[in-house]
Amino acid sequence: MFKGFYPLLENFLCTYLPKQKGYSDHTVTSYYAAISQYISWLADAQKIKKSKVQVFDFTKERVLSWLSSIEENGASVSTRNQRLAGMRSFLAFASEEEPIYMDTYLSVGHIKVKKGCKPSKDFLNHEEFQAILKAIPPGNNTSIKHYVLLSVLYDSGTRVHEICNMRLEDISFGKNCSIKIYGKGRKTRIIYISSNAVTLIKDYCKRFDIAEDILFRNRYGNHLTDSGIDYIIKKYTAVAAESLLSLKTKKVSSHTFRRSKATHMLLSGVSLPLIQRFLGHESIQTTEEYLDIGSEAMIQAVNRTGTLVLPLEKIDEAENWREADVMEQIRLKISQR
């Protein structure tokens, strides 16, 4: 007797993805959400009882209808494609466990990923970021928590699920404060944060008596969620936009904070390989595509570096342009590397 749907699904989500493939909790949750939503759709639209669902119910026609329905209900093309990826992964696993499901897997595998509009690559300039922080009202514990959260989110450049899972034990306080980040695919990286962020974290932990475990929590003492953090960001962005009109045209999310940090690093002269390591990208090409700098930021960068160019009338006033002096300066710079 071949394995049925629910035993396979449990093995897929609880053993195969996290223990054999090493997928993160975030990915496992995403795949679970995809299949759970499909099961609910089968019950509502196809009148198939949840307890009676079988792998054979994952037909190409039904999956296409379900994907169309979630888009009609407001899901983005990206979300639609993520849901499809989760379903494909499960059916691939099921077909390996029970070859009788191979045709079902191949049928759904022929559904194409849908092309959508390129995601916004907005980032915040320094004035916009400061305006969002200033929009947080002073004087109460909730405001303090939100201020520290958004400050550390920007300074660390972390993905939203990475900061949700940030633990006090993963922070190394010292001359150069570092944080161990658990990224995609359970991969870890070490990042460094500014002294200002360190001070905020220390004061925050002392004020709220946090000595271990999760750093940022909700009002009930549990993990913050992705949606919870995005709600906080949108709340203060809306307030800041009332006085800074440029924010009205930007869709600001937790990912905007991450892109803003990386863009500011690039404009400050940090090399792409270092930014790649900081962000946790496997490929530097991903980092290059990620940092799509707009014309405004490019103009600012050109103007900053342009101050190094001497005006024509200043050439006669410049000293130490003798060849020997220039070569000595170069030699010293090389020796100091």
Tens of pLDDT, residues 30-75: 899 999 999 999 999 999 999 899 999 999 999 999 999 999 988 8
Joined together, the tokens standing for residue 136 give 């947080």
pLDDT for the residue 47: 95
Asked if 241 contacts 125 with a C-beta cutoff of 8 angstroms, the reply is no
Hey, what domains does the chain have and what are their CATH numbers? 5-109 (1.10.150), 126-301 (1.10.443.10)
Q: Is 81 helix (H, G, I), strand (E, B) or coil?
A: helix
Q: Which of 115-119, 136-140, 174-178 has the lowest mean pLDDT?
A: 115-119
Tens of pLDDT, residues 147-206: 999 999 999 999 999 999 999 999 988 778 889 998 876 788 999 988 889 999 999 999
pLDDT for the residue 316: 44
Tens of pLDDT, residues 252-285: 999 999 999 988 888 888 888 888 888 888 888 7
More confident residue, 5 or 187: 5
Percent of the chain with pLDDT over 90: 50
- Report the pLDDT averaged over residues 207-216: 91
58/36 Cα distance (integer angstroms): 13
Task: Write the single-letter amino acid at 92.
Answer: A
More confident residue, 284 or 132: 132
Joined together, the tokens standing for residue 46 give 């196809």
197/177 Cα distance (integer angstroms): 9
109/193 Cα distance (integer angstroms): 43
pLDDT for the residue 322: 44
Q: Is 80 exceeded by the pLDDT of residue 288?
A: no
More confident residue, 102 or 187: 102
pLDDT for the residue 218: 86
pLDDT for the residue 221: 83
Neighbours of 93 (CB within 10 A): 21
Q: Is 50 exceeded by the pLDDT of residue 291?
A: yes
pLDDT for the residue 2: 73
Q: Is 90 exceeded by the pLDDT of residue 123?
A: no
Largest CA distance in the chain: 92
| Category of 108 on φ-ψ map: left (φ > 0), alpha (ψ -120 to 50) or beta | alpha
If you search the block for the tokens 């792409």, which residue do you land on?
Answer: 272
